[in-house]
Structure 1
Amino acid sequence: MSGFNHCVALVTGGASGIGEATVRALVERGARVVVADLQADRGEALAAELGDAVRFCVTDVTSESAVAAAVAEAVTTFGSLTALVNNAGVVGAVGSITDTSIEAYERTMDIHCKGSFLGVKHAAKVMPRGSAIVSLASTARLIGGQGPHVYTMAKHAIVGLTKSAASELATKGIRVNAVAPSGTVTPMIDALGLGDAEARRRPWLQLRRWVLPVALRTLPIPFCS
Protein backbone atom coordinates (compact mmCIF):
# COMPACT_ATOMS: atom_id res chain seq x y z
CA MET A 1 0.00 0.00 0.00
CA SER A 2 1.19 3.52 -0.71
CA GLY A 3 0.39 6.96 0.51
CA PHE A 4 1.26 6.56 4.18
CA ASN A 5 4.38 8.74 4.28
CA HIS A 6 2.09 11.77 4.43
CA CYS A 7 -0.46 10.13 6.73
CA VAL A 8 -0.99 11.57 10.20
CA ALA A 9 -3.44 9.44 12.14
CA LEU A 10 -5.25 9.72 15.45
CA VAL A 11 -6.20 6.35 16.94
CA THR A 12 -8.51 6.39 19.95
CA GLY A 13 -8.15 3.47 22.31
CA GLY A 14 -4.79 2.96 20.64
CA ALA A 15 -2.83 1.72 23.64
CA SER A 16 -4.07 -1.88 23.54
CA GLY A 17 -6.01 -4.47 21.57
CA ILE A 18 -7.09 -3.70 18.02
CA GLY A 19 -6.11 -0.06 18.50
CA GLU A 20 -2.52 -0.91 19.38
CA ALA A 21 -2.28 -3.35 16.48
CA THR A 22 -3.57 -0.62 14.15
CA VAL A 23 -1.02 1.88 15.47
CA ARG A 24 1.81 -0.57 14.81
CA ALA A 25 0.56 -1.30 11.29
CA LEU A 26 0.31 2.40 10.47
CA VAL A 27 3.80 3.16 11.76
CA GLU A 28 5.25 0.22 9.81
CA ARG A 29 3.84 1.80 6.67
CA GLY A 30 5.39 5.20 7.36
CA ALA A 31 2.52 7.02 9.07
CA ARG A 32 2.84 9.23 12.12
CA VAL A 33 0.32 8.53 14.85
CA VAL A 34 -1.21 10.13 17.92
CA VAL A 35 -2.40 7.47 20.36
CA ALA A 36 -5.38 8.72 22.40
CA ASP A 37 -6.18 6.54 25.40
CA LEU A 38 -6.75 6.60 29.15
CA GLN A 39 -4.19 3.83 29.72
CA ALA A 40 -1.23 6.07 30.42
CA ASP A 41 1.34 3.37 31.22
CA ARG A 42 0.58 1.35 28.11
CA GLY A 43 0.31 4.40 25.88
CA GLU A 44 3.58 5.90 27.02
CA ALA A 45 5.35 2.55 26.67
CA LEU A 46 4.03 2.15 23.13
CA ALA A 47 5.17 5.65 22.16
CA ALA A 48 8.61 5.03 23.67
CA GLU A 49 8.94 1.76 21.76
CA LEU A 50 7.85 3.13 18.38
CA GLY A 51 9.85 6.36 18.60
CA ASP A 52 9.37 9.77 17.06
CA ALA A 53 6.55 8.63 14.78
CA VAL A 54 4.20 8.27 17.76
CA ARG A 55 2.86 10.64 20.39
CA PHE A 56 0.70 9.56 23.30
CA CYS A 57 -2.10 11.78 24.57
CA VAL A 58 -4.08 10.87 27.70
CA THR A 59 -7.64 11.09 26.40
CA ASP A 60 -11.10 10.46 27.78
CA VAL A 61 -13.15 10.17 24.59
CA THR A 62 -16.32 11.18 26.45
CA SER A 63 -14.78 14.61 27.14
CA GLU A 64 -15.09 17.09 24.29
CA SER A 65 -12.12 19.14 25.49
CA ALA A 66 -9.96 16.01 25.71
CA VAL A 67 -10.85 14.88 22.19
CA ALA A 68 -10.25 18.39 20.85
CA ALA A 69 -6.86 18.38 22.58
CA ALA A 70 -5.91 15.07 20.96
CA VAL A 71 -6.77 16.44 17.53
CA ALA A 72 -4.75 19.58 18.29
CA GLU A 73 -1.81 17.39 19.36
CA ALA A 74 -1.73 15.79 15.93
CA VAL A 75 -1.79 19.13 14.14
CA THR A 76 0.75 20.75 16.46
CA THR A 77 3.20 17.85 16.51
CA PHE A 78 2.93 16.49 12.98
CA GLY A 79 1.47 19.42 11.05
CA SER A 80 -1.89 17.96 10.07
CA LEU A 81 -4.45 15.22 10.65
CA THR A 82 -5.36 13.03 7.68
CA ALA A 83 -6.81 9.92 9.33
CA LEU A 84 -8.97 9.17 12.36
CA VAL A 85 -9.57 5.67 13.70
CA ASN A 86 -12.45 5.69 16.19
CA ASN A 87 -11.53 2.55 18.12
CA ALA A 88 -12.12 3.31 21.82
CA GLY A 89 -14.75 1.07 23.37
CA VAL A 90 -15.84 -1.16 26.23
CA VAL A 91 -17.91 -4.32 26.42
CA GLY A 92 -20.08 -2.72 29.08
CA ALA A 93 -22.71 -4.46 31.15
CA VAL A 94 -23.03 -8.20 30.58
CA GLY A 95 -26.24 -10.03 31.40
CA SER A 96 -29.98 -9.75 31.07
CA ILE A 97 -31.49 -6.51 29.82
CA THR A 98 -33.71 -6.57 32.91
CA ASP A 99 -30.62 -6.35 35.13
CA THR A 100 -28.74 -3.65 33.20
CA SER A 101 -28.37 -0.43 35.16
CA ILE A 102 -28.87 2.97 33.59
CA GLU A 103 -25.36 3.87 34.76
CA ALA A 104 -23.89 0.97 32.79
CA TYR A 105 -26.02 1.92 29.80
CA GLU A 106 -24.85 5.54 29.86
CA ARG A 107 -21.17 4.67 30.26
CA THR A 108 -21.20 2.23 27.35
CA MET A 109 -23.11 4.57 25.06
CA ASP A 110 -20.93 7.54 26.01
CA ILE A 111 -17.65 5.78 25.22
CA HIS A 112 -18.79 4.27 21.93
CA CYS A 113 -21.25 6.82 20.58
CA LYS A 114 -20.31 10.13 22.16
CA GLY A 115 -16.64 9.26 21.71
CA SER A 116 -17.07 8.48 18.02
CA PHE A 117 -19.23 11.56 17.47
CA LEU A 118 -16.67 13.85 19.11
CA GLY A 119 -13.85 12.28 17.13
CA VAL A 120 -15.62 12.88 13.83
CA LYS A 121 -16.69 16.39 14.85
CA HIS A 122 -13.24 17.66 15.78
CA ALA A 123 -11.24 15.74 13.18
CA ALA A 124 -13.45 17.06 10.38
CA LYS A 125 -12.71 20.63 11.46
CA VAL A 126 -9.01 20.31 10.63
CA MET A 127 -8.77 17.56 8.01
CA PRO A 128 -7.72 18.50 4.47
CA ARG A 129 -9.33 17.02 1.37
CA GLY A 130 -8.37 13.40 0.82
CA SER A 131 -8.52 12.56 4.53
CA ALA A 132 -10.28 9.55 5.99
CA ILE A 133 -12.26 8.53 9.05
CA VAL A 134 -12.87 4.90 10.00
CA SER A 135 -14.88 3.76 13.02
CA LEU A 136 -14.90 0.34 14.64
CA ALA A 137 -18.31 -1.26 14.50
CA SER A 138 -18.80 -4.99 15.12
CA THR A 139 -20.46 -8.10 13.77
CA ALA A 140 -22.78 -7.51 16.75
CA ARG A 141 -24.50 -4.89 14.61
CA LEU A 142 -25.20 -7.54 11.97
CA ILE A 143 -26.24 -10.60 13.97
CA GLY A 144 -28.27 -10.61 17.18
CA GLY A 145 -26.72 -12.29 20.20
CA GLN A 146 -23.08 -11.59 19.37
CA GLY A 147 -22.68 -8.85 21.94
CA PRO A 148 -24.21 -7.55 25.19
CA HIS A 149 -27.35 -5.48 24.69
CA VAL A 150 -25.98 -1.95 25.10
CA TYR A 151 -22.75 -2.77 23.25
CA THR A 152 -24.83 -4.07 20.33
CA MET A 153 -27.00 -0.96 20.41
CA ALA A 154 -23.92 1.29 20.42
CA LYS A 155 -22.37 -0.46 17.43
CA HIS A 156 -25.59 0.05 15.46
CA ALA A 157 -25.39 3.75 16.33
CA ILE A 158 -21.80 3.97 15.09
CA VAL A 159 -22.88 2.62 11.71
CA GLY A 160 -25.65 5.21 11.60
CA LEU A 161 -23.18 7.99 12.39
CA THR A 162 -20.84 6.67 9.71
CA LYS A 163 -23.54 6.79 7.03
CA SER A 164 -24.71 10.25 8.03
CA ALA A 165 -21.22 11.75 8.34
CA ALA A 166 -20.13 10.16 5.07
CA SER A 167 -22.90 11.99 3.25
CA GLU A 168 -21.95 15.40 4.64
CA LEU A 169 -18.17 15.10 4.64
CA ALA A 170 -17.97 13.75 1.09
CA THR A 171 -18.51 17.34 -0.03
CA LYS A 172 -15.27 18.22 1.78
CA GLY A 173 -13.34 15.34 0.27
CA ILE A 174 -13.27 13.34 3.52
CA ARG A 175 -14.09 9.63 3.32
CA VAL A 176 -16.00 8.08 6.25
CA ASN A 177 -16.24 4.31 6.69
CA ALA A 178 -16.75 1.66 9.36
CA VAL A 179 -15.31 -1.83 9.76
CA ALA A 180 -16.95 -4.67 11.69
CA PRO A 181 -14.54 -7.15 13.30
CA SER A 182 -15.75 -10.29 15.02
CA GLY A 183 -14.72 -11.68 18.43
CA THR A 184 -11.19 -10.60 19.30
CA VAL A 185 -9.03 -11.51 22.28
CA THR A 186 -8.30 -8.09 23.78
CA PRO A 187 -7.91 -6.58 27.27
CA MET A 188 -11.53 -5.45 26.90
CA ILE A 189 -12.62 -9.11 26.83
CA ASP A 190 -10.04 -10.19 29.41
CA ALA A 191 -11.48 -7.62 31.83
CA LEU A 192 -14.69 -9.64 32.00
CA GLY A 193 -12.82 -12.20 34.07
CA LEU A 194 -14.27 -15.16 32.19
CA GLY A 195 -12.33 -18.34 31.60
CA ASP A 196 -12.23 -19.64 28.05
CA ALA A 197 -14.81 -22.36 28.68
CA GLU A 198 -17.25 -20.00 30.36
CA ALA A 199 -16.72 -17.33 27.73
CA ARG A 200 -17.61 -19.70 24.96
CA ARG A 201 -20.78 -20.77 26.74
CA ARG A 202 -22.07 -17.22 26.77
CA PRO A 203 -24.60 -16.88 23.93
CA TRP A 204 -23.01 -13.63 22.73
CA LEU A 205 -19.53 -15.16 22.74
CA GLN A 206 -20.32 -18.40 20.92
CA LEU A 207 -18.04 -17.80 17.98
CA ARG A 208 -16.46 -20.61 16.05
CA ARG A 209 -13.06 -18.94 16.13
CA TRP A 210 -11.59 -16.12 18.20
CA VAL A 211 -8.87 -13.98 16.69
CA LEU A 212 -5.94 -12.06 18.11
CA PRO A 213 -5.64 -8.30 17.49
CA VAL A 214 -2.63 -8.87 15.24
CA ALA A 215 -4.93 -10.69 12.81
CA LEU A 216 -6.98 -7.50 12.44
CA ARG A 217 -4.09 -5.05 12.45
CA THR A 218 -4.58 -4.10 8.81
CA LEU A 219 -8.39 -4.01 8.90
CA PRO A 220 -8.73 -0.18 9.07
CA ILE A 221 -5.59 0.46 7.00
CA PRO A 222 -7.07 0.59 3.46
CA PHE A 223 -9.49 3.28 4.62
CA CYS A 224 -6.69 5.47 6.02
CA SER A 225 -4.47 5.79 2.96
Structure 2
Amino acid sequence: MNALTGKVAVVTGATSGIGVDVARAFVAEGAHVVLAGRRRSEGDAVVRELGPAASFVRTDVTDEDDVAELLHVAVQRHGRLDVLVNNAGAASHLGSIEEVDAAAFRATQEVNVMGALYGIKHAVGHLRRLGTGGSIINMASITGDRVVYAGVAYSVSKAALIHLTKWAAAELGAYGIRVNSISPGFITTTRFGKAAGVTEVQARERLDALDTYAREQAASMQAIHRAGTGSDVAGAAVYLAGDASSYVTGQDLAIDGGLSLGQPRDAMVRIRDTMAGIFAG
Protein backbone atom coordinates (compact mmCIF):
# COMPACT_ATOMS: atom_id res chain seq x y z
CA MET A 1 0.00 0.00 0.00
CA ASN A 2 0.94 3.66 -0.52
CA ALA A 3 3.40 2.86 -3.30
CA LEU A 4 2.24 6.00 -5.13
CA THR A 5 1.74 8.42 -2.25
CA GLY A 6 2.20 12.01 -3.36
CA LYS A 7 2.26 11.18 -7.06
CA VAL A 8 -0.07 12.70 -9.65
CA ALA A 9 -1.23 10.42 -12.44
CA VAL A 10 -3.24 10.91 -15.60
CA VAL A 11 -5.08 7.87 -16.97
CA THR A 12 -6.77 8.05 -20.37
CA GLY A 13 -9.63 5.76 -21.32
CA ALA A 14 -10.55 5.68 -17.65
CA THR A 15 -14.34 5.50 -17.90
CA SER A 16 -14.52 1.72 -18.31
CA GLY A 17 -12.57 -1.53 -18.43
CA ILE A 18 -8.89 -1.66 -17.57
CA GLY A 19 -8.65 2.12 -17.24
CA VAL A 20 -11.09 2.18 -14.32
CA ASP A 21 -9.19 -0.59 -12.55
CA VAL A 22 -5.90 1.25 -13.02
CA ALA A 23 -7.43 4.43 -11.60
CA ARG A 24 -8.83 2.50 -8.61
CA ALA A 25 -5.47 0.90 -7.91
CA PHE A 26 -3.61 4.22 -8.17
CA VAL A 27 -5.98 5.92 -5.73
CA ALA A 28 -5.70 2.96 -3.34
CA GLU A 29 -1.91 3.36 -3.46
CA GLY A 30 -2.08 7.04 -2.53
CA ALA A 31 -2.00 8.85 -5.88
CA HIS A 32 -4.09 11.77 -7.09
CA VAL A 33 -5.59 10.65 -10.40
CA VAL A 34 -6.96 12.69 -13.26
CA LEU A 35 -9.20 10.46 -15.34
CA ALA A 36 -9.77 11.16 -19.01
CA GLY A 37 -12.37 9.88 -21.43
CA ARG A 38 -15.04 10.95 -23.86
CA ARG A 39 -18.07 10.03 -21.74
CA ARG A 40 -18.55 12.67 -19.07
CA SER A 41 -21.41 10.93 -17.26
CA GLU A 42 -19.37 7.76 -16.81
CA GLY A 43 -16.27 9.72 -15.85
CA ASP A 44 -18.20 11.62 -13.20
CA ALA A 45 -19.58 8.33 -11.86
CA VAL A 46 -16.07 6.92 -11.44
CA VAL A 47 -14.97 10.10 -9.65
CA ARG A 48 -17.88 9.77 -7.22
CA GLU A 49 -16.77 6.22 -6.51
CA LEU A 50 -13.10 7.09 -5.98
CA GLY A 51 -13.60 10.24 -3.96
CA PRO A 52 -11.57 13.46 -3.62
CA ALA A 53 -8.33 11.91 -4.90
CA ALA A 54 -9.88 11.63 -8.37
CA SER A 55 -11.11 14.14 -10.93
CA PHE A 56 -12.25 13.94 -14.55
CA VAL A 57 -11.42 15.84 -17.72
CA ARG A 58 -13.41 15.09 -20.86
CA THR A 59 -10.82 14.25 -23.52
CA ASP A 60 -10.75 12.93 -27.06
CA VAL A 61 -7.25 11.48 -27.46
CA THR A 62 -7.43 11.80 -31.24
CA ASP A 63 -7.45 15.59 -30.77
CA GLU A 64 -3.92 16.77 -29.92
CA ASP A 65 -5.20 20.00 -28.38
CA ASP A 66 -7.49 18.01 -26.09
CA VAL A 67 -4.58 15.89 -24.87
CA ALA A 68 -2.36 18.93 -24.31
CA GLU A 69 -5.14 20.60 -22.33
CA LEU A 70 -5.72 17.46 -20.24
CA LEU A 71 -2.11 17.43 -19.08
CA HIS A 72 -2.11 21.19 -18.51
CA VAL A 73 -5.22 20.91 -16.32
CA ALA A 74 -3.71 18.05 -14.33
CA VAL A 75 -0.63 20.15 -13.53
CA GLN A 76 -2.78 23.20 -12.74
CA ARG A 77 -4.86 21.20 -10.27
CA HIS A 78 -2.04 19.36 -8.53
CA GLY A 79 1.14 21.31 -9.27
CA ARG A 80 2.94 18.39 -10.88
CA LEU A 81 2.74 15.33 -13.12
CA ASP A 82 4.45 12.05 -12.27
CA VAL A 83 2.68 9.34 -14.24
CA LEU A 84 0.85 9.13 -17.57
CA VAL A 85 -1.04 5.98 -18.55
CA ASN A 86 -1.99 5.98 -22.23
CA ASN A 87 -4.82 3.49 -21.90
CA ALA A 88 -7.45 4.83 -24.31
CA GLY A 89 -7.96 2.31 -27.07
CA ALA A 90 -10.21 1.27 -29.91
CA ALA A 91 -10.94 -2.29 -30.98
CA SER A 92 -11.23 -3.42 -34.58
CA HIS A 93 -13.47 -5.89 -36.35
CA LEU A 94 -12.28 -9.50 -36.52
CA GLY A 95 -12.66 -9.69 -40.28
CA SER A 96 -10.48 -10.79 -43.15
CA ILE A 97 -7.78 -8.50 -44.45
CA GLU A 98 -9.77 -8.45 -47.69
CA GLU A 99 -12.60 -6.82 -45.76
CA VAL A 100 -10.54 -4.07 -44.14
CA ASP A 101 -12.16 -0.66 -44.37
CA ALA A 102 -9.47 1.99 -44.84
CA ALA A 103 -11.30 4.65 -42.84
CA ALA A 104 -11.88 2.27 -39.93
CA PHE A 105 -8.23 1.16 -40.06
CA ARG A 106 -7.05 4.79 -39.84
CA ALA A 107 -9.49 5.51 -37.02
CA THR A 108 -8.02 2.67 -34.94
CA GLN A 109 -4.48 4.02 -35.46
CA GLU A 110 -5.65 7.51 -34.49
CA VAL A 111 -6.81 6.32 -31.09
CA ASN A 112 -4.28 3.62 -30.28
CA VAL A 113 -1.10 5.13 -31.72
CA MET A 114 -1.60 8.85 -32.26
CA GLY A 115 -3.42 9.24 -28.93
CA ALA A 116 -0.43 7.77 -27.11
CA LEU A 117 2.00 9.83 -29.17
CA TYR A 118 0.17 13.04 -28.25
CA GLY A 119 0.25 12.02 -24.59
CA ILE A 120 3.99 11.36 -24.61
CA LYS A 121 4.73 14.50 -26.59
CA HIS A 122 2.86 16.82 -24.24
CA ALA A 123 3.78 15.05 -20.99
CA VAL A 124 7.52 15.39 -21.54
CA GLY A 125 7.67 19.13 -20.87
CA HIS A 126 5.77 18.80 -17.60
CA LEU A 127 7.89 15.87 -16.45
CA ARG A 128 11.14 17.63 -17.36
CA ARG A 129 10.18 20.81 -15.52
CA LEU A 130 9.57 18.83 -12.35
CA GLY A 131 13.11 17.51 -12.61
CA THR A 132 12.47 14.20 -10.88
CA GLY A 133 11.75 12.06 -13.91
CA GLY A 134 8.47 10.24 -14.19
CA SER A 135 6.78 7.20 -15.71
CA ILE A 136 4.83 6.83 -18.93
CA ILE A 137 2.92 3.59 -19.41
CA ASN A 138 1.39 2.63 -22.75
CA MET A 139 -1.36 0.01 -22.80
CA ALA A 140 -0.40 -2.32 -25.64
CA SER A 141 -1.49 -5.95 -26.18
CA ILE A 142 0.01 -9.35 -26.84
CA THR A 143 -1.64 -9.01 -30.26
CA GLY A 144 1.09 -6.49 -31.05
CA ASP A 145 3.55 -9.38 -31.16
CA ARG A 146 1.37 -12.24 -32.40
CA VAL A 147 -0.73 -12.44 -35.55
CA VAL A 148 -3.74 -13.87 -33.73
CA TYR A 149 -6.51 -12.97 -31.30
CA ALA A 150 -7.52 -9.60 -32.82
CA GLY A 151 -8.40 -7.72 -35.97
CA VAL A 152 -5.61 -6.50 -38.21
CA ALA A 153 -6.10 -2.79 -37.44
CA TYR A 154 -5.93 -3.39 -33.68
CA SER A 155 -2.97 -5.77 -33.91
CA VAL A 156 -0.97 -3.43 -36.15
CA SER A 157 -1.70 -0.47 -33.88
CA LYS A 158 -0.45 -2.31 -30.82
CA ALA A 159 2.73 -3.39 -32.61
CA ALA A 160 3.35 0.26 -33.45
CA LEU A 161 2.65 1.26 -29.85
CA ILE A 162 5.21 -1.21 -28.51
CA HIS A 163 7.83 0.20 -30.85
CA LEU A 164 6.85 3.77 -29.97
CA THR A 165 7.41 2.83 -26.33
CA LYS A 166 10.94 1.64 -27.03
CA TRP A 167 11.74 4.69 -29.15
CA ALA A 168 10.51 7.09 -26.46
CA ALA A 169 12.31 5.20 -23.70
CA ALA A 170 15.63 5.44 -25.56
CA GLU A 171 15.28 9.19 -25.93
CA LEU A 172 13.68 10.22 -22.64
CA GLY A 173 15.82 8.17 -20.28
CA ALA A 174 18.33 11.02 -20.32
CA TYR A 175 15.76 13.07 -18.39
CA GLY A 176 14.95 10.31 -15.93
CA ILE A 177 11.65 9.63 -17.69
CA ARG A 178 10.83 5.94 -17.97
CA VAL A 179 8.57 4.63 -20.74
CA ASN A 180 7.20 1.09 -20.67
CA SER A 181 4.25 -0.78 -22.11
CA ILE A 182 1.89 -3.40 -20.72
CA SER A 183 0.53 -6.11 -23.02
CA PRO A 184 -2.60 -7.72 -21.59
CA GLY A 185 -3.79 -11.08 -22.85
CA PHE A 186 -7.32 -12.43 -22.52
CA ILE A 187 -8.77 -9.84 -20.12
CA THR A 188 -12.56 -10.04 -19.93
CA THR A 189 -13.60 -6.50 -20.84
CA THR A 190 -16.20 -5.04 -23.18
CA ARG A 191 -13.50 -4.54 -25.83
CA PHE A 192 -13.90 -8.19 -26.86
CA GLY A 193 -17.59 -7.62 -27.43
CA LYS A 194 -16.98 -4.53 -29.51
CA ALA A 195 -14.44 -6.46 -31.60
CA ALA A 196 -17.14 -9.06 -32.18
CA GLY A 197 -19.45 -6.38 -33.54
CA VAL A 198 -21.82 -5.73 -30.63
CA THR A 199 -22.38 -2.48 -28.75
CA GLU A 200 -20.65 -1.71 -25.48
CA VAL A 201 -23.96 -1.92 -23.63
CA GLN A 202 -24.60 -5.38 -25.08
CA ALA A 203 -21.05 -6.43 -24.24
CA ARG A 204 -21.43 -5.33 -20.61
CA GLU A 205 -24.60 -7.36 -20.26
CA ARG A 206 -22.75 -10.50 -21.36
CA LEU A 207 -19.44 -10.14 -19.52
CA ASP A 208 -20.31 -12.97 -17.12
CA ALA A 209 -20.85 -15.28 -20.08
CA LEU A 210 -17.55 -14.13 -21.59
CA ASP A 211 -15.74 -14.85 -18.35
CA THR A 212 -17.24 -18.35 -18.21
CA TYR A 213 -16.18 -19.01 -21.79
CA ALA A 214 -12.68 -17.66 -21.09
CA ARG A 215 -12.24 -19.97 -18.12
CA GLU A 216 -13.28 -22.93 -20.26
CA GLN A 217 -10.83 -22.01 -22.98
CA ALA A 218 -7.90 -21.06 -20.73
CA ALA A 219 -6.99 -24.67 -19.96
CA SER A 220 -6.11 -25.31 -23.58
CA MET A 221 -4.73 -21.84 -24.33
CA GLN A 222 -2.41 -20.81 -21.51
CA ALA A 223 -0.44 -21.86 -18.45
CA ILE A 224 -2.71 -20.13 -15.91
CA HIS A 225 -6.19 -21.62 -16.24
CA ARG A 226 -8.34 -18.53 -15.81
CA ALA A 227 -9.19 -15.36 -17.63
CA GLY A 228 -7.40 -12.18 -16.66
CA THR A 229 -9.02 -9.21 -14.95
CA GLY A 230 -8.46 -5.49 -15.00
CA SER A 231 -7.01 -5.80 -11.52
CA ASP A 232 -4.26 -8.07 -12.84
CA VAL A 233 -3.25 -5.34 -15.27
CA ALA A 234 -3.63 -2.60 -12.67
CA GLY A 235 -1.11 -4.31 -10.41
CA ALA A 236 1.47 -4.16 -13.17
CA ALA A 237 0.66 -0.50 -13.76
CA VAL A 238 1.23 0.29 -10.07
CA TYR A 239 4.64 -1.36 -10.28
CA LEU A 240 5.67 0.56 -13.41
CA ALA A 241 4.34 3.83 -12.00
CA GLY A 242 6.16 3.52 -8.69
CA ASP A 243 9.72 3.81 -7.50
CA ALA A 244 10.15 0.02 -7.34
CA SER A 245 10.63 0.06 -11.13
CA SER A 246 13.03 3.02 -11.19
CA TYR A 247 15.57 1.03 -13.25
CA VAL A 248 13.04 -0.35 -15.74
CA THR A 249 12.45 1.32 -19.10
CA GLY A 250 11.73 0.35 -22.69
CA GLN A 251 10.11 -2.91 -21.62
CA ASP A 252 6.87 -4.56 -22.69
CA LEU A 253 5.35 -6.48 -19.78
CA ALA A 254 2.96 -9.26 -20.82
CA ILE A 255 0.09 -9.81 -18.39
CA ASP A 256 -1.42 -12.80 -20.14
CA GLY A 257 -1.42 -15.87 -17.91
CA GLY A 258 1.22 -17.39 -20.16
CA LEU A 259 -0.88 -17.13 -23.33
CA SER A 260 2.08 -15.83 -25.33
CA LEU A 261 4.12 -18.90 -24.35
CA GLY A 262 2.02 -21.23 -26.46
CA GLN A 263 -0.11 -24.18 -25.42
CA PRO A 264 0.37 -25.53 -21.88
CA ARG A 265 1.79 -29.01 -21.30
CA ASP A 266 -1.53 -30.72 -20.58
CA ALA A 267 -2.95 -29.46 -23.88
CA MET A 268 0.09 -30.78 -25.73
CA VAL A 269 -0.29 -34.12 -23.96
CA ARG A 270 -3.90 -34.35 -25.16
CA ILE A 271 -2.76 -33.63 -28.71
CA ARG A 272 0.00 -36.26 -28.42
CA ASP A 273 -2.44 -38.88 -27.13
CA THR A 274 -4.92 -38.09 -29.89
CA MET A 275 -2.21 -38.42 -32.53
CA ALA A 276 -1.05 -41.68 -30.97
CA GLY A 277 -4.58 -42.98 -31.31
CA ILE A 278 -4.65 -41.98 -34.98
CA PHE A 279 -1.40 -43.81 -35.71
CA ALA A 280 -2.56 -46.84 -33.74
CA GLY A 281 -5.53 -47.11 -36.07
TM-score by length of 2: 0.73
Structure 1 partner of 2:235? 218
Q: One-letter code of the match for 2:51?
A: G
Structure 1 partner of 2:4? 4
SS of residue matched to 2:52: helix
Within 1, Cα distance between the matches of 2:39 and 2:97? 29
Runs of 4 or more consecutive aligned structure 1 residues displaced over 6 Å after TM superposition = none
Identify the structure with bigger relative contact order (alpha carbons < 8 Å, sequence gap 6+): 1
Structure 1 partner of 2:155? 152
How big is the shift at 1:114?
0.3
Is 1:136–2:139 an aligned residue pair?
yes
Is 1:165–2:168 an aligned residue pair?
yes
Within 2, Cα distance between the matches of 1:43 and 1:187? 16
Q: One-letter code of the match for 1:40?
A: R
Within 1, Cα distance between the matches of 2:155 and 2:107? 14
How big is the shift at 1:147?
1.5
How big is the shift at 1:4?
1.3
SS of residue matched to 2:80: coil
Within 1, Cα distance between the matches of 2:62 and 2:87? 13
TM-score by length of 1: 0.91
> 1:164-198: CA deviations, max 9, x gaps?
1001111111011111110211122233337758x
Within 1, Cα distance between the matches of 2:72 and 2:110? 22
Within 1, Cα distance between the matches of 2:185 and 2:231? 13
Q: One-letter code of the match for 2:94?
A: V
Q: One-letter code of the match for 1:80?
A: R
Structure 2 partner of 1:120? 120
Contact kept? 1:112, 1:154, Cα under 8 Å = yes
Within 2, Cα distance between the matches of 1:79 and 1:166? 24
Within 2, Cα distance between the matches of 1:30 and 1:211? 24
How big is the shift at 1:59?
0.5
- Count how many residue pairs are aligned between Structure 1 and Structure 2: 219
Contact kept? 2:92, 2:150, Cα under 8 Å = no
Within 1, Cα distance between the matches of 2:165 and 2:2? 25
| Structure 1: runs of 5 or more not aligned | 201-205
Structure 2 partner of 1:27? 27
Which structure shows the bigger proportion of residues in helix conformation?
A: 2
> 1:88-118: CA deviations, max 9, x gaps?
0011232011111011101100000000000
Within 1, Cα distance between the matches of 2:112 and 2:70? 17
Structure 1 partner of 2:184? 181
Identity %: 34
Structure 2 partner of 1:203? none
How big is the shift at 1:53?
0.7
| Structure 2: runs of 5 or more not aligned | 215-219, 243-281
